[in-house]
Amino acid sequence: MIDVKNLTKRFVGRTAVDAITFAVGKGEIVGFLGPNGAGKSTTMRMLTGYLPPTSGEASIGGHDVFTDSLKARREIGYMPENVPLYEDMRVIEYLSFRAGLKGVPIRGVKSSVERAMEYCGLGEVRKKMIANLSKGFRQRVGLADALVHKPRLLILDEPTNGLDPNQIRQVRHLITQLAGEHTVLLSTHILSEVQMSCRRVIIINKGRIRADDTPDALAANLQSSGVVTLEVRADADAAQDKIQALPHVRRLTSSDAGEGWRRFELRVEPGPDDIRETLNQLAQAEHWPLRELTRHTATLEDVFVELTQRD
């Protein structure tokens, strides 16, 4: 459904997107993640035809985004981070207006609007002025707008931005219902939502793709290298030097745990032995009282932090 090859966007003095390549198949829900300034929104704006690339290729449903823009855009429903709604219109009026702009035939506008409103749970506010809607209902109107012309691809940029936990759960439910009938490219900072909603994750940082896999596979790959917490009572600098000198310790952070205790977080490369045994032996040899020695289950947040801070 989406095919991107060496897509690049340069602005004066910086490269926002640097020769990225990825594909998204029909019916997939894919999380598109990255820190602020990573290139997510720039990529989405290029895919939706709002921003021309410096170089590279992108196609939607087989239509080139840049040379066959009109056909490509008809395949896309785009929900930007800040949905630009017309507050002086009623919900049904706004969606009818938007359906017409998106090329829905006059005879089909009513049924398309009714379908989008039903899908997004807007029946109870259909005749309300948009200015009087809550943030949650405004987001639903934005999603209905993206759906009203029955696109095959939905590109959603921070669809749960500013919502409370109950509203986030409702929007997540709507998004997961779209799987199969629609392809979804979802950008969000709420990593737990991605882990629950998306079957695949693409992580971008500094304009380049750093990972592309299922959330479980990414977490398992990080887990294989190891995330270990050690808490001992010891001199901070001396303990840090000795731990850092151990084989396979890739990254080490230290914090004060109070009353003379130091907490060390270790990122460990794969090795034949469990480093916890080595750390236990080190603590005994150095006469460090030991309070915690734990291997953690990696989460998508761990993966995100590891890949984006590594650069």
109 and 251 housed in the same domain: no
pTM over 0.85: no
27 and 164 housed in the same domain: yes
Q: How far is CA 15 from the centre of its chain?
A: 21
pLDDT band at 311 (very low <50, low <70, confident <90, very high): low
Q: Are 62 and 137 in contact (CB under 8 A)?
A: no
Q: Give the pairing of strands 2-11 and 14-24.
A: antiparallel
pLDDT at 284 over 70: yes
Please write the tens of the pLDDT for every residue from 58-102: 999 999 999 998 899 999 999 988 888 999 999 999 999 999 999
Q: Considering the domain boundaries, does residue 301 fall inside one?
A: no
End-to-end CA distance of the chain: 30
Q: Give the pairing of strands 227-233 and 290-295.
A: antiparallel
Q: Residue 286 and residue 278: Cα distance in Å, rounded?
A: 12
47 and 69 housed in the same domain: yes
State whether the Cα torsion 33-37-39-45 is positive or negative.
Answer: positive
pLDDT at 219 over 70: yes
Collapsing DSSP to helix, strand or coil, 101 comes out as: helix
Q: Residue 229 and residue 241: Cα distance in Å, rounded?
A: 16
Please write the tens of the pLDDT for every residue from 163-202: 888 888 888 888 888 877 889 999 887 888 888 888 899 9
Q: Residue 141 and residue 83: Cα distance in Å, rounded?
A: 9
Please write the tens of the pLDDT for every residue from 240-275: 999 999 888 888 899 999 989 999 998 887 655 678
Q: Considering the domain boundaries, does residue 135 fall inside one?
A: yes
pLDDT attached to residue 281? 93
Q: Considering the domain boundaries, does residue 106 fall inside one?
A: yes
Structure tokens at 119: 């899908």
Provide the CATH number for the domain around residue 158: 3.40.50.300
103 and 41 housed in the same domain: no
Q: What is the mean pLDDT of the segment spanning 52-56?
A: 94
Q: Considering the domain boundaries, does residue 167 fall inside one?
A: yes
210 and 189 housed in the same domain: yes
